[in-house]
Chain A
Amino acid sequence: MTRFITSSFSHLILLIGILIMVVPVWMIFASSTHTSSMINMNGLQIFLGDSFYENYLRVLLYQGGFFKEITALKMFFNSFIMATGVAILSVVTSLMAAYALVYYRIKHATLLFWIIFITILVPLELRIFPTYSVMAELNLVNSYFGLIVPISASAIATLFFRQFYKTVPDELLESAKLDGANTWRFFVDFLIPLSKTMIVAMLIFMFVFGYNQYLWPLLVTTSEQYWTVVMGLKMMSGSIVHRFAFVMMSMVPPILIIIVLQKHFIKGVFQDK
């Protein structure tokens, strides 16, 4: 009986928690399916209206932006390029750097270790204008390269891969050496397949990190052609229901990725098997 009561209590608390998370998003979604005059007269809605297709299609295909030069569809394309670029570039470079740190006897290993990991303490927000002037000097403003690379300058994934490699038994390298594997073969044929869960988790983490960037794209894109979704939110013109629709669409890609790949993500980050 007490067990029943305590577990009902748990369910109740969890339900309240879920409502706090779901209700605001649901209300914006429900409101995004109404007409603007309806919202202006009656405020946010709880029930669905019947302007779903009309509102969403218009937002996706209409030339929005300050100079009316870009559609939401193009912004999604830009965000996708940026997020994928950040995920792949940071994960590949981190995998390699962590490999050198763990599997090699390196001169000045401690110094290298600090050079790489102290960077975690200096997020982009703290060096945003100088980073911009570096990009301007290298002529990389308004380019995908300019959107991607400074965000990929991160050693977070390196830290995770290093921790993971250290748990790999030494016997693996010994037996690989007996099989005649050289350093490259060992990395590609043994270590990478073994780190698959961790790689997927880091790809998800960095994808979401890249997709959600706001300040950097705001600064490094002066041409609307390179606007991303998250920064575009503030720039979009249009009526209130179109804004609602755009907000809803902007959160779909990262949420979908987290929900669908949830198991891999949690497995990798927390290393549970």
Chain B
Amino acid sequence: MSVRKRTLLAATAGAAMLFALSGCAAPGSDADPATASGPVTLTFWHAMTGPAATELDTLVSQFNAQEAGKITVDASFQGSYADVQTKYTAAVQSNSTPDVLMMNDISTGFMVDSKKTVPLSTFTDKDSSFDADSFPPIVSSYYAAASGGLAAMPFSVSQPVLYLNRSLVTQAGLNPDTPPTTLAEVADWAEKIHASTGAYGMTMNMSDSWMLEEMSASGGENFCTPENGRGSDKVTGLDLTTPTQVAFMGQLQKLFSDGTALNPGTDNSAMVSAFASNKVGIMLTSSGAYTTADPSKTASKVSAFPKTSNSKDAGVVVGGNALWISGDGHSEAQQQAAYEFLTYLHSADVQAEWSSATGYLASNTGAADTTAGKQSLSDPNVAAMADQLANTPASQAAAGCRTGAFPTVRATVIGAFNQIVEGADVTSTMKDAESKAADQIAAYNTAAG
């Protein structure tokens, strides 16, 4: 072997190692939680972008001004929710967790299992001015702590809703002001819109299994077993093959396979822009998409997410994010300051402001009585979203599944559903997904200890 060849070989092997190994090391930082005496500085990690990030910075500045000399919140954007979780796990390893952490809905199970945070109820129990009834009931049950009270402070609340494109719906001879209320009606409308306008009849998020979870809940079905993880036992598996679930997946399969429904793949923003540009008649997605889906606020009609059965437990699960207070390595003064910051963000005025600036729903029912809240609710579309949130029953199905393995199993379920969309048998494909998800959940539960 010539020297040149050996050098090339060594370089290739070196490059191979670099390529193979990059991405396997965890990042770390070395912030040291201060021992508080005098003004307290709080680190706050969040995942907000765009108008929400601007508004959050404004709220933080207002709080800092209000608490000048006592508390300073240092907010920093950390990327997507998945990025935040990755950075948080690295921070746990290097003992540098932030004082306040924003985490999304489905990572609630992981945060509880992490045991690195102090349940919000620890502080609210001692705070007589705190009104535990200021949350919509379904929000309280979503973030409920096992010991009673709340595990975290709900901050940004959203729910899936149904959007109708007024123009396409009217062209199809349908009345947007009497919107469909069941998935069967949605399917019927979608077929009519597609047939008479040539546009897609409907679309929905397909980047993960979120829509399937919501349709299970809107049929009164648990997504996880046992008891959606809301009882005394940990979640050990998924329920994907009840008659209600098989029926709605069959309806969706037909809509996607005959070209009535638009499959947006992983690109949720492309889905919203397709709706906004009159390419889709009906869209099932988050209430948070309202401002981008319909900037004029008059081109669409928003109504409640369709039901998949007439069960009394039927309702949709809330999404969004909550704020967590770190325990280990953070002084009592820091924790108390963090609690004060959270109660500020939960106040009726702040929630009304946050809601009107971002499109999230207010997590404080008192926000409706504020000036900003009244102005938001004068839009019938926003009022429809608020009605749905207020009327969601606090059932186990609508409380939604809680497992730390949720982010992982979502990928499994949407993978299986993509096969169904292309014609695979609903029951057997979802049985396979149930079995794979059970393995993933078991692996997670072992890791969580």
Q: Does B associate with A?
A: no
